[in-house]
């Protein structure tokens, strides 16, 4: 009770809303522990799929991303050891072996912080490239992380439509991303009956997983420049 009542008297008024949200969030997590509940919603809704399909490329034969390239072109496994991590402190020393799964997830754990900082800078400057900071996470996660399927790119295709407010080139990249994503989803669905659309099925079957290089290039170019130069920044 003291932890709930005392801090609002110490914090600044503008932090009151954040403190209230933190109290509600903490209550939701503590309640199952106090009242003998369980976290089956977390285990089944989030952890079960990743544990059941413990492979590098979820959409094998259809979804071409970094995981598909590493698995099919370079014979990497999701739990292959790629390096080691050493932590040395005055009274502590730890050495751990890092597998590919850990490296791929850890490399993106710091990604939201950088995007958030860039988003704040562009928003303050009223720069249209603020829209790119909304697009990039939805494109990077399904293309770089393992255990991803082509359906996750639906969100990237929808959100990347805002690139029309940045430049013509990025608008064309949105069209390219949509075409490639649609083709990969169709190829996966057409496995049941390829005769329904044999041209699309054959095209994307023959280009898997090499078309993943184009997908990754599309992700890299999404940070391109605007068509018009930035206006001079007004003094604050």
Q: Which domain holds residue 30?
A: 2-37
Closest Cα to residue 56, out of 158, 144, 180? Answer: 144
pLDDT at residue number 229: 44
Structural domain contains residue 93: no
Q: Is this model's pTM higher than 0.85 or not?
A: no
Q: State how far Cα 130 lies from the chain centre.
A: 18
Whole-angstrom Cα Rg for the chain: 23
Q: Considering its fold, how many domains does the chain have in total?
A: 2
Structural domain contains residue 103: no
pLDDT digits (tens, 9 = 90+) for 119-149: 788 888 888 888 888 888 888 888 888 888 8
Same domain, 31 and 116: no
Distance CA 141, CA 157 (A): 13
C-alpha angle 208-210-213 in degrees, rounded to nearest 5:
130
Structural domain contains residue 87: no
Same domain, 215 and 123: yes
Distance CA 36, CA 34 (A): 6
Residue 43 has pLDDT above 80, yes or no: yes
Distance CA 170, CA 161 (A): 9
Structural domain contains residue 44: no
């Amino acid at each position: 009770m003291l932890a709930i009542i005392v801090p609002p008297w110490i914090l600044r008024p503008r932090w009151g809303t954040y403190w209230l949200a933190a109290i509600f969030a903490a209550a939701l997590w503590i309640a199952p522990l106090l009242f003998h509940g369980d976290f089956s919603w977390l285990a089944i809704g989030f952890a079960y799929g990743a544990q059941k399909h413990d492979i590098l490329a979820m959409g094998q034969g259809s979804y071409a991303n970094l995981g598909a390239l590493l698995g099919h072109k370079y014979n990497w496994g999701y739990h292959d050891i790629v390096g080691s991590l050493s932590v040395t402190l005055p009274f502590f020393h730890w050495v751990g072996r890092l597998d590919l799964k850990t490296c791929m997830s850890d490399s993106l754990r710091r990604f939201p912080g950088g995007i958030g900082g860039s988003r704040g800078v562009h928003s303050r400057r009223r720069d249209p490239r603020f829209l790119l900071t909304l697009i990039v996470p939805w494109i990077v996660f399904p293309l770089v992380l393992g255990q991803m399927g082509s359906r996750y790119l639906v969100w990237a295709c929808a959100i990347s439509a805002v690139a029309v407010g940045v430049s013509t080139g990025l608008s064309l990249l949105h069209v390219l991303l949509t075409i490639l994503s649609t083709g990969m989803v169709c190829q996966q669905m057409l496995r049941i009956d390829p005769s329904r659309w044999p041209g699309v099925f054959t095209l994307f079957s023959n280009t898997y997983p090499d078309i993943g290089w184009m997908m990754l290039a599309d992700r890299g170019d999404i940070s391109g420049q605007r068509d018009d130069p930035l206006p001079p920044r007004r003094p604050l």
